């Protein structure tokens, strides 16, 4: 959900509610979008995978999502990805509503959110991102999206990009619409999974 520019017109995007081996996969925004906090500490945003629809996507949000995920996740090919035929929801997201580090921002994105499954069983790694988080569904449903936290609390789920010696920031906040958690809660309820 990377948003750029100063226009009040929403950017069109595509986001993936991504599953791998039954876990929810989230991405960490790139260092150029990290935030300077007090005492020299830094913070990052953790979000769904995806981004802006580009000209090469020919205004097709599903195509944009697949391209973005292939850029962000190492070791997979298009044949390893299954995407829902239609978005599970579409939402206009204003950065100031979801990003606690940019409360005054009017930047927004209108994004189609698809369910995307990475069918390849082997471990995945971040490619174009500093880190991926692969969180078991049961633990994901317990997360408080409104809370800012210390990244150490999520360390068990963090897969760092090994291409550099980048030191990850100390703090994080989620930039994930509530509809994502609602979708998984409904999905789990439909399966009759009580989470035990």
Q: pLDDT for 102-120, tens place per residue?
A: 988 888 889 999 999 999 8
> Is the model's pLDDT at 180 over the cut of 70?
yes
pLDDT at position 193, please? 55
pLDDT band at residue 65, thresholds of 50, 70 and 90?
Answer: very high
pLDDT at position 39, please? 86
Query: Who's near 30: CB < 8 A, 6+ residues apart?
Result: 128, 129, 130
pLDDT at position 5, please? 42
Fold (CATH) for 11-189: Nucleoside Triphosphate Pyrophosphohydrolase (3.90.79)
The dihedrals phi and psi of 161, each to the nearest 5 degrees, come to -70, 120
3-state secondary structure the chain: CCCCCCCCCCEEEEEEEEEECCEEEEEECCHHHCEECHHHCEEEEEECEEEECCHHHCCCHHHHHHHHHHHHEECCCHHHEEECCCCCEEEEEEHHHHCHHHCCCCCEEEEEEEEEEECCCCCCEECCCCEEEEEEHHHHCCCCCCCCEEHHHHHHHEEECCCCCCCCCCEEEEECCHHHHHHHHHHHHHHCCCCC
pLDDT at position 195, please? 45
pLDDT at position 191, please? 66
Average pLDDT over residues 40-65: 95
> Is the model's pLDDT at 4 over the cut of 80?
no
Percent of the chain with pLDDT over 90: 76
Domain boundaries, the chain: 11-189
> Is the model's pLDDT at 127 over the cut of 50?
yes
Rounded CA separation 180/88 (Å): 9
Is the pLDDT higher at 4 or at 129?
A: 129
Rounded CA separation 193/125 (Å): 28
Average pLDDT over residues 27-36: 95
């Amino acid at each position: 959900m990377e948003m750029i520019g100063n226009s009040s017109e929403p950017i069109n995007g595509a986001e993936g509610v991504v599953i791998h081996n039954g876990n929810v996969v989230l991405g960490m925004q790139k260092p150029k979008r990290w935030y300077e906090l007090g005492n020299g500490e830094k913070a990052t945003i953790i979000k769904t995978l995806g981004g802006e629809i580009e000209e090469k996507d020919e205004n097709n949000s599903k195509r944009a999502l697949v391209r973005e995920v292939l850029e962000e996740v190492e070791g997979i090919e298009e044949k390893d990805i299954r995407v829902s035929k239609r978005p599970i929801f579409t939402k206009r997201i204003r950065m100031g509503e979801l990003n606690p580090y940019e409360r005054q921002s009017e930047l927004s994105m209108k994004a189609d959110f698809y369910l995307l499954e990475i069918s390849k069983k082997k471990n995945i790694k971040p490619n174009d991102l500093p880190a991926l988080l692969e969180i078991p569904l049961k633990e994901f449903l317990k997360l408080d999206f409104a809370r800012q936290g210390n990244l150490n609390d999520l360390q068990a789920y963090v897969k760092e990009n090994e291409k550099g010696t980048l030191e990850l920031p100390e703090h994080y906040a989620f930039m994930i619409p509530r509809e994502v958690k609602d979708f998984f809660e409904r999905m789990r309820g439909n399966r009759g999974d009580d989470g035990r």
